[in-house]
Amino acid sequence: MLNFLNKILSNSNKIESKFIDLQNNSNVKKIFNSIQDFSADSEVRYVGGCVRKILMNEKVDDIDLATNLKPDDIQKALNESNIKFYETGIQHGTITAQIDNEKFEITSLRSDVLPDGRHSKVEFTKDWKKDAERRDFTINAIYSDINGNLFDPFDGKRDLEAGKVIFIGKADQRIQEDYLRILRYLRFFSMYSKTDHDLNTLKSIKKNLSGISKISSERLLDEFKKITISGSLEKLCLNNYSLEILKFIFPQFKKLEIIKNLNPKAKEKLKNIDFPVLLAVISIDETDNLEYFLFKFNISKKDQKRIKNIKDFFYNVKTTVKIDSKSLWKYYYLHGKESLLDILNYKVLTSKKAEKKFLEFIEYFKNQELPVFPIKAEDLMKKFNLTEGKKVGEYLKLLEDFWIKNNFSITEKDLERIVKN
């Protein structure tokens, strides 16, 4: 019994300490003071992710705030305190304040009306309970003042401690207000759940899965990225229900089951893998599936190039090369360090067994500098009395090809022989 009490007190002290740390942040103080000093009845509280993370002793990387002021008054309050802000979501009551490089999302208390599965109109309110009612899960409807005093109308703290992800009110209604909540449920389930899915929740999700078609591909992919950043993708893929839902939402992820069978080294690598490489792992196959995925989800040109380079390396018979030191140096020179590390990381994640050599290549090439071709056109022209033109370019190409094949080495004799022949 004594150990149990000590554990509770220890955890309580950690939580209190985290709120004190935030309170000591001068930028946080400035935001709170600007709102609270605006009028006699103005209030502001932490809400959502930052409160949840403090209660779970996680790193707080962003701060969301709720206030009983309307958006116009939030702007007046920030102006009076000379705090910069942006109207990032003004139609939904959200203002983003910025002090130095730190950003704070401040949202007016509201209730959502006329939701259509993607968006809804809003009505502003001063009722904190009403604001809580329109949120998705009990664990995201916990508020705190600057001192750490909680307002928790749906016992979210209790559910968090019990490892339960529970929709506020009726799951059907919450999902139909915004179908993205299906993916959000999977994310929070994988992060916090200590039990399997509640069967009634699963029924509501499956019944409403077709509504996902109303959500833009950008929002879906952004939520999937949050799942990967949270480090919980493997847990989701190991749960048959979760995997079934993910595969329905993202049919283009034809190799998602790879994540279920990662080798031990790949499991470690997955925690910090670049998102484009992960997308390559779960979407590349012998078909044109990848091209459709890149188009449908509007992947950036830069990330498209990275993913296509991986496919070309492993699936294009004309360009496939051995993965040995000499070939990798050549690939590094022709395609750059990022592309080289991408193919090595892809290999680690898709190999059935953990092969030490690939991990060693990754660590080795991380610290290598790109070779620089030592011969310039002007040097060649001067040495061999050549005039500028196409012939000089042809010589340079021949010399560079030889230099690459000769492990980035070329002698004066090689130079003379190639040019004079």
Using one digit for the tens of pLDDT, what is the confidence trace for 145-183? 999 999 999 999 999 999 999 999 999 999 999 999 999
Strands 94-99 and 44-47: unpaired
Question: Which of the four pLDDT bands, split at 50, 70 and 90, describes residue 112?
Answer: confident
- What pLDDT was estimated at residue 174? 94
Specify whether 148 is located in the same domain as 173.
Answer: no
Specify whether 11 is located in the same domain as 63.
Answer: yes
Domain boundary pick from 235, 250, 265: 250
- What pLDDT was estimated at residue 8? 41
Task: Answer whether residue 9 shows pLDDT above 60.
Answer: no
- What pLDDT was estimated at residue 99? 93
Question: Which of the four pLDDT bands, split at 50, 70 and 90, describes residue 2?
Answer: very low
Residue-wise pLDDT tens digits, 24-57: 888 999 999 999 999 999 999 999 999 999 999 9
Q: Domain range for residue 113?
A: 1-162
We report the CATH number of the domain holding residue 209 as 1.10.3090.10
We report the CATH number of the domain holding residue 46 as 3.30.460.10
Task: Answer whether residue 114 shows pLDDT above 80.
Answer: no
Specify whether 258 is located in the same domain as 350.
Answer: yes
Specify whether 12 is located in the same domain as 156.
Answer: yes
Specify whether 72 is located in the same domain as 175.
Answer: no
Task: Answer whether residue 120 shows pLDDT above 80.
Answer: no
Specify whether 62 is located in the same domain as 187.
Answer: no
CA distance 353 to 349: 9
CA distance 214 to 135: 20
Domain boundary pick from 110, 132, 162: 162
Phi and psi at 97, nearest 5°, equal -90, 150
Specify whether 34 is located in the same domain as 174.
Answer: no
Specify whether 210 is located in the same domain as 284.
Answer: no
Rounded to the nearest 10 degrees, the angle between the axes of helix 217-229 and helix 181-192 is 0
CA distance 47 to 45: 6
CA distance 377 to 349: 43
User: In total, how many domains does the chain have?
Assistant: 4
Task: Report DSSP letters for 77-138, one per residue.
Answer: HHHHTT-EEEEEEGGGTEEEEEETTEEEEEEE-EEEES--BS--EEEE-S-HHHHHHTSSBG
Q: Give, as one character, the DSSP assignment of residue 288.
A: S
Domain boundary pick from 207, 234, 250: 250
Question: Which of the four pLDDT bands, split at 50, 70 and 90, describes residue 207?
Answer: very high
Specify whether 206 is located in the same domain as 319.
Answer: no
Specify whether 27 is located in the same domain as 148.
Answer: yes
Specify whether 157 is located in the same domain as 198.
Answer: no
Specify whether 44 is located in the same domain as 183.
Answer: no
Its pTM stands at 0.86
